[in-house]
Structure 1
Amino acid sequence: MDDLHQVHEPDAEQLAAVRALLDAAFEGEFGEDDWTHALGGLHVMLMRAGKLLAHAAVVPRTLYYDGRPLRTGYVEGVAVHPSHQRRGCGTRVMTSATEHVLETYELGGLSDGSGFPGFYRRHGWLPWLGPTSVATAQGMFRTADEDHFVRVLPTARSGDLSLRAPLACDWRPGDVW
């Protein structure tokens, strides 16, 4: 039987298991910046017999909708162990992460580089259709290469959102989105 855990402060053993899972699922393409982005917030972990099968993190960020800051639950580190892919494990952790965003934040955000946009759409995540940018100390810079990968999850606290308005994130090392 699988156990779904929501952990706000994973211990060292849990973090090591998450890192190993991410390295296996992303075939070594999950870098240090990606790892840093997935830390903090809520970690959803699907376990079976003490083995981590799937993971998703919801970390706090601020996204700027048409210049207005929104407290955002940003989803990072979604992965399923290669031996358990296509068995519903990713759906279970993403359902839990989505529920957490809906209960806690003004908006949900993520960048879908997976090539599986239908996976996130099934959970209510919508493609952002407007221009994306990053806010830096030197000003706002367009992130046009990310325009087709950003997904959002409006919540009851989002207010009226036009998916075609400008959306920006704060700068961070590595992939800003």
Structure 2
Amino acid sequence: MARLTEPVTVQVRHTEELSEKELHELRKMLVEVFGARYDDNAWDHCLGGIHYLLRYGDKLVAHGALVPRYMRQGDRVLRGMYGESMATLDDWCHRGFGSTIVAMATAEIRLNYDIGVFAASKYSFYERLGWDKWRGQTFVETEHGIEARGPDRGAVMFRLPRHSTVDPDGDLITNLRSGDPW
């Protein structure tokens, strides 16, 4: 692994603070990481929240977003954030950049929200950073009622603040959206 010679910086910005040029650069980077499965739905899901943009010099090499998402457990509506488009360019993996993004997002959730959730397939990466697989059943609220539904791939991962009263063995409900429901 080559030695880093440029500064590494992380910007924390809301979607509305990103310029058209920055949004274009971000989408290009995410398509490079995720390939053809990073469609318009995936792009739309990552907009409207907080972005963590990690750069090596001027190059965007890692990203993660937290977007507000409706979640409830029983009758209790939760103040929740949903992790979207967590990604590091392949050539920049195993340098701690992804861990940095996840740690910053985790701190935001633990300080300001009832729960953080996202769907993931690389469980061990997130578990070592304090995230767990949701143990209860997951549901989606549709116009026809509540339907049992998990993510299209992987598992729902969650992180709770230290003194949370959310039950990770209970049911978790979110709203229906286009693309992957979780």
Q: Does the TM-score normalized on the shorter chain lie above 0.5?
A: yes
RMSD of aligned alpha carbons: 1.7
**Deviation for aligned residue 1:144:** 4.7
Secondary structure in 1 aligned to 2:179? coil
Pairwise CA distance, 1:162: 2.6
Structure 2 alignment gaps of length 5 or more: 1-6
Is this contact kept in 2: 1:128–1:147, CA < 8 A? no
- Partners of 2:153 and 2:71 lie apart in 1 by 14
List gaps (5 residues or longer) in structure 1. none
Map of 1:164 onto structure 2? 169
Evaluate the alpha carbon distance shift between residue 44 and residue 144 of structure 1 in structure 2; reply closer, same or farther with a 3 A threshold: closer
Provide the secondary structure at the position in 1 that maps to 2:35.
coil
* Number of residue equivalences: 174
Deviation at 1:123, TM superposition (A): 2.0
Indicate which of 139, 143, 149 corresponds to 1:143: 149
Counterpart of 1:143, as a letter, is R
Runs (4+) of structure 1 exceeding 2 A deviation are: 144-148
TM-score between the two structures when normalised by the length of structure 1:
0.91
Does the aligned pair in 2 maintain the 1:128–1:148 contact within 8 Å? no
- Which residue pairs with 1:7 in the alignment? 13
How far off its partner does 1:145 sit? 5.8
Q: For residue 19 of structure 1, what is the aligned residue in structure 2?
A: 27
AA in 1 matched with 2:173: A
The TM-score, its normalising length taken from structure 2, stands at: 0.89
Residue 129 of structure 1 and its aligned partner are, at CA, apart by 0.9
Tell me the percent identity. Answer: 30
User: Does residue 23 of structure 2 align to residue 29 of structure 1?
Assistant: no
